[in-house]
Amino acid sequence: MEGNFFFQATIYLLAAVIMVPIAKKLGLGSVLGYLIAGIIIGPFILGFIGQEGQDIMHFAEFGVVMMLFLVGLELEPALLWRLRGPIMGLGGLQVVITAAVVFLISMAIGLPWNEGLAIGFIVSMSSTAIVLQTLNEKGLMKTSAGQSSFAVLLFQDIAVIPILALLPLLATKTTSGGADHHDTFISIFPSWAQPLIVIGAVALVIVAGMYIVKPVLRYVAKTRLREIFTATALLIIVSITVLMVGVGLSPALGTFLAGVILANSEYKHELESDIEPFKGLLLGLFFIAVGASIDFGMIAREPYLIFGIVFALMIIKTIILLILGIIFKLKTDQNFIFAFGLSQVGEFAFVLLSFSLQEGVLAKDTISLLMAVVAITMALTPLVMLIIEKNILPRIGTKEIEETKEHDSIEETNPIIIAGFGHFGNTIGRFLRANGVHATILDIDSDRVDTLRKMGLKVFYGDASRYDLLKSAGADEAKVIILAIDDPEKNLEIVHTIKKHFPHLKILSRARNRYDAYELMDEGVKNIYRESLDTSIRLGIDALKMLGYRSHKLHRMAKAFFRLDEYHLKGLAKVRKDQKVYISYAKQRIEEIEDSMKSDSMFGDIKEDGWDSTSLVEEVRKHNSIKD
């Protein structure tokens, strides 16, 4: 049964479907859910998966390749050029310093210099898959921590090339050879020609991306067959992978380059939508395989040694990254996210360890030990990030708030406090300011605060859910607080603080949708603004105008629709826990609104202040011209 493909597929899918939603519900993130699923179904617990987990790992690494292709699609060459400083500076220093420190420690404990150097470069790698997935889930990719992490990870992917070239030079043992050893295509050529072939392969990817792939995609797109376009997208990635592996390079690097080249293509978004499902499934499979590959037998035999190495490595990498973050002027909160997020050893370490065994650089026992260490560091990363987010960052934020209060006179009192100053809050703030009303503005993103201050806006850094911050921001004297944060849970947290300590404050809260609005209603918030409602109605008005409807009537109907929708929202909130009743109630309310909108009598109590005078004048002129 164990060798049955469909049985194995069922086990993998079932484990993911059960564990990932549980992990997400507990706030652990999907990555840890996949890892736990792999551990449970692996050979050391339920035993549904045997040693074939190692073979699956090689297949699942293709998910990492696809992820780098999609990351490349998001990066236009101009943006990549702007990041050259962090990539070469921050990324280069991280790899070199980490490798040097681990090399010196390895020499101190008696390992040969060549093994110490190989281990140093291998453990300098971090997990592109876990870090980018975690940062994306938490919405941190656009922050300085996210950009710095990406720069380091990108350099590491590039560094895999020279490391793979260096490892055979460090070999002193007989290679494992045999059936498991596969020479690359370039190994049949003289040593002087091999670097030229490698450069030529990279150049081929770039040239093909610029001059061949786009015409091919254009030709395939004309067929209007979605499955053929998807097949073409997969063909591009698989072909690059085969070429890169054939010349001994990282396939992730090749697909990343292809993605960057196609970032300005008109087919960018179509490629993203076609590849995304495959990437998600294969990445999940990769994480499950990592969990299943952890050798708990070795961990049980040598627990102190293995966990000692795990914690030592993570501490060393964290300290190095923290120092580099300070040198590159990352703010304290961003620096902690950056340093702890990259403290693990990544998936490319498995590739380098396997290559080291084939080339006779490291002994088999050393490889098995390091495999366990790498897998454990990867499994611990989501937990470390969760601890940092919940326990450390709030305290760091408090310290920085106190500094801001002292230097920036946060004691100022304004009638309005705005929590969150992204696009939503920024628009509100500008509107208030244009009407002569000043607000005290709070935001948790230190980089955004710095940018806005340079633009002349007085914004204070801090977590608006903290009582001490709200007090120092003048909540005792303020009349209104506007919650403009794009995080429903954080908005609810702030509401709890306000109700407990500042019950006099009138709360106006942003909500993404009606479900967020229900949660806010449960907390007694009366003034709720669904961010898509007004825009959706405004778009509907414009659409009906284009069909010939009169502007003044449309504005009256829009007011009526808005009022009815808001009124029925309160009723829906009361029955939403019972799905059957909720659906029935919603259906009735939709019919009621439609019937009401068809009746002219309902407009009697709606004032005409919703008229668009400009459009009305235009309609009168149009009517007269037609009449004439």
Per-residue pLDDT tens over the stretch 131-173:
887 787 777 777 788 888 888 988 887 777 678 768 777 876 5
pLDDT of residue 537: 75
Other C-beta atoms closer than 10 Å to the C-beta of 109 total: 7
Structure tokens at 54: 């190692």
Instruction: Examine the pLDDT at 24 and tell me if it is beyond 60.
Output: yes
CATH class of this structure's domain 52-395: mainly alpha
Q: Where are the domains of the chain?
A: 52-395, 408-627
3-state secondary structure 173-216: CCCCCHHHCCCCHHHHCCCCCHHHHHHHHHHHHHHHHHHCHHHH
Instruction: Examine the pLDDT at 323 and tell me if it is beyond 70.
Output: yes
Whole-angstrom distance, CA of residue 320 vs CA of residue 89: 14
Whole-angstrom distance, CA of residue 542 vs CA of residue 379: 51
DSSP, res 87: I
The listed CATH number (2.40.50.140, 3.30.565.10, 3.40.50.720, 3.40.640.10) that belongs to domain 408-627: 3.40.50.720
Q: At 587, is the pLDDT very low, low, confident or very high (cuts 50, 70, 90)?
A: confident
Q: For tokens 């706030």, name the residue.
A: 27
Of 137, 148, 139, the residue nearest 420 (C-alpha) = 139
Instruction: With beta carbons less than 8 A apart as the criterion, state whether 555 and 614 touch.
Output: no
3-state secondary structure 121-151: HHHCCCCHHHHHHHHHHCCCCCCHHHHHHHH
Whole-angstrom distance, CA of residue 16 vs CA of residue 288: 8
Per-residue pLDDT tens over the stretch 521-562:
878 888 888 877 777 777 877 787 777 777 777 777 777 777
3-state secondary structure 289-337: HHHHHCCHHHHHHCHHHHHHHHHHHHHHHHHHHHHHHHHCCCCHHHHHH
Instruction: State in Å, rounded, how far the first CA of the chain is from the last one.
Output: 85
Whole-angstrom distance, CA of residue 624 vs CA of residue 621: 5
pLDDT of residue 102: 93
Q: At 605, is the pLDDT very low, low, confident or very high (cuts 50, 70, 90)?
A: very low
Structure tokens at 628: 């004439």
pLDDT of residue 412: 59
pTM, rounded to two decimals:
0.54
